[in-house]
């Protein structure tokens, strides 16, 4: 569907109680998820949790065992009807769909525009290449382009038909970190311009935080938590979600008398009940290293690594098997091997029942 400006009209993509299995493996388990018009959702989760399967169900490359997929309010997969992939207005950018090596860059981008008159297809393909800044490469062949450039061509090919829904599976993997930043920014700009409703599959939390309007975290075929990057970072539903989003110092705690006692001192109780054993997590940026004799807990500095904006420190604390990690922004003067004190910022503390 096109608006008067030629841009796709933003549509909603919905999964209603969708399950899918391959033989005995339940890959997607009763997923309810709505992606709003022009929203960018990142699907995040460990390998094998069902991310790619969820994309394939929207693309029409798999048919759900139960439940329905709707695009723009119309059932495209479900008991009532199945719409074939090419009729869904869905663009795909999957790793398996590499560029065709024997076709020029322009011909690669034109590939998805086969239904249009020749000159219109050519103009649209050139426009898509221009969008990713590669129009000058139109007549070259893929092997003459760098990995990052090829990825941008793949992006141009996916968006050239102006799909209402764009499904991307690990679109930035295989790029080195600087190129990845460029291609991500380019992708965001193209998505904003085309107003495609988009799902990006990734296993990289940082990528999800950068790209997504909303992050959907999956585990074992189920949606564990969905929300903004800040929601998932500050209010993870469980320890596994917390671990996914940052490095953690994890120490045992006991809740008694309304406070939680740990080898790192006592903390106010957060949603856990008296008598309960809990895991107390402290993010390394909330650990401050102070001169010996000050701070909440005595320790010994056992390593430091300078990383530019921050310094990573490890502190051994009596009663703990693992050293406590700190990310210090300010200069710490203590030498490795010396006694120090640790201060914990309670805002960097999370706790979960064991």
State the minimum distance, in angstroms, from the CB of residue 10 to ligand ATP. Answer: 26
Contact characters 27-66, ligand ATP, x per CB under 6 A:
x-----------------x-xxxxxxx-------------
Size of the site for ligand ATP (CB under 6 A): 12
The packing angle between helices 118-131 and 147-159, to 10°, is 130
> Is the Cβ–Cβ distance between 312 and 284 less than 8 Å?
yes
| Nearer of residues 203 and 210 to ligand ATP, judged by Cβ | 203
| Nearer of residues 31 and 128 to ligand ATP, judged by Cβ | 31
State the minimum distance, in angstroms, from the CB of residue 194 to ligand ATP. Answer: 25
Contact characters 124-163, ligand ATP, x per CB under 6 A:
----------------------------------------
> Is the Cβ–Cβ distance between 71 and 34 less than 8 Å?
no
CB-neighbour burial class of residue 84 (10 A; exposed 0-12, middle 13-18, buried 19+):
exposed
> Is the Cβ–Cβ distance between 99 and 132 less than 8 Å?
no
Between the alpha carbon of residue 145 and those of residues 137, 155, 178, 189, the distances in Å are: 8, 14, 17, 22
| Nearer of residues 52 and 279 to ligand ATP, judged by Cβ | 52
Judged by CB under 6 A, which stretch of 20-28, 86-94, 144-152, 287-295 contacts ligand ATP?
A: 20-28
Judged by CB under 6 A, which stretch of 19-27, 83-91, 209-217, 271-279 contacts ligand ATP?
A: 19-27
Query: For residue 128, what is the DSSP state?
Result: H
| Nearer of residues 24 and 321 to ligand ATP, judged by Cβ | 24
Candidates 348, 2, 268, 335; CA nearest to 161 is 2
| Nearer of residues 170 and 213 to ligand ATP, judged by Cβ | 170
| Nearer of residues 51 and 180 to ligand ATP, judged by Cβ | 51
| Nearer of residues 44 and 128 to ligand ATP, judged by Cβ | 44
Structure tokens at 151: 């990825």
> Is the Cβ–Cβ distance between 325 and 314 less than 8 Å?
yes
State the minimum distance, in angstroms, from the CB of residue 343 to ligand ATP. Answer: 39
| Nearer of residues 53 and 249 to ligand ATP, judged by Cβ | 53
- Euclidean distance between CA atoms 116 and 281, whole angstroms: 57
Candidates 54, 71, 108, 52; CA nearest to 196 is 71
Contact characters 198-227, ligand ATP, x per CB under 6 A:
-----x------------------------
Is 323 strand, coil or helix? Answer: coil
DSSP of 261-311: EETTEEEE--S--TT-EEEEEE-GGGEEEEETT-SSEEEEEEEEEE-SS-E
State the minimum distance, in angstroms, from the CB of residue 93 to ligand ATP. Answer: 14
State the minimum distance, in angstroms, from the CB of residue 222 to ligand ATP. Answer: 12
List residues binding ligand ATP (CB under 6 A). 22, 25, 27, 45, 47-53, 203
């Amino acid at each position: 569907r096109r608006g008067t400006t030629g841009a796709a009209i933003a549509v909603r993509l919905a999964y209603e109680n969708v399950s899918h299995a391959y033989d005995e493996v339940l890959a997607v388990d009763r997923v309810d998820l709505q992606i709003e018009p022009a929203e960018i959702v990142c699907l995040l989760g460990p390998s094998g949790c069902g991310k790619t399967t969820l994309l394939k169900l929207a693309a029409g490359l798999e048919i759900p065992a139960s439940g329905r997929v709707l695009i723009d309010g119309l059932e495209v997969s479900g008991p009532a009807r199945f719409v074939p992939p090419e009729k869904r207005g869905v663009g795909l950018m999957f790793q398996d769909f590499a560029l065709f090596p024997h076709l020029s860059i322009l011909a690669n981008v034109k590939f998805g525009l086969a239904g249009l008159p020749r000159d219109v297809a050519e103009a649209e393909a050139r426009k898509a290449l221009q969008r990713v800044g590669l129009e000058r490469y139109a007549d070259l062949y893929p092997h003459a382009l760098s990995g990052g450039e090829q990825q941008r061509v793949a992006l141009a090919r996916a968006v050239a038909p102006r799909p209402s829904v764009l499904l991307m599976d690990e679109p930035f993997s295989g790029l080195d970190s600087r190129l990845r930043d460029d291609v991500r920014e380019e992708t965001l700009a193209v998505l904003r311009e085309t107003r495609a409703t988009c799902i990006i599959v990734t296993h990289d939390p940082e990528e999800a935080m950068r790209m997504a309007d909303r992050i959907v975290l999956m585990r074992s075929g189920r949606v564990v938590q969905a929300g903004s990057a800040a929601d998932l970072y500050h209010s993870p539903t469980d320890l596994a979600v917390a671990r996914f989003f940052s490095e953690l110092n994890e120490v045992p705690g006991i809740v008694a008398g309304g406070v939680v006692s740990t080898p790192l001192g006592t903390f106010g109780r957060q949603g856990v009940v008296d008598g309960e054993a809990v895991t107390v997590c402290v993010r390394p940026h909330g650990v401050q290293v102070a001169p010996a004799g000050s701070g909440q807990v005595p320790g010994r500095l056992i390593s430091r690594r300078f990383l530019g904006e921050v310094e990573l420190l490890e502190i051994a604390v009596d009663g703990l098997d693992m050293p406590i990690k700190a990310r210090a922004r300010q200069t710490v003067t203590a030498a490795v091997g010396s006694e120090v004190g640790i201060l914990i910022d309670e805002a960097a503390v999370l706790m979960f029942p064991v």
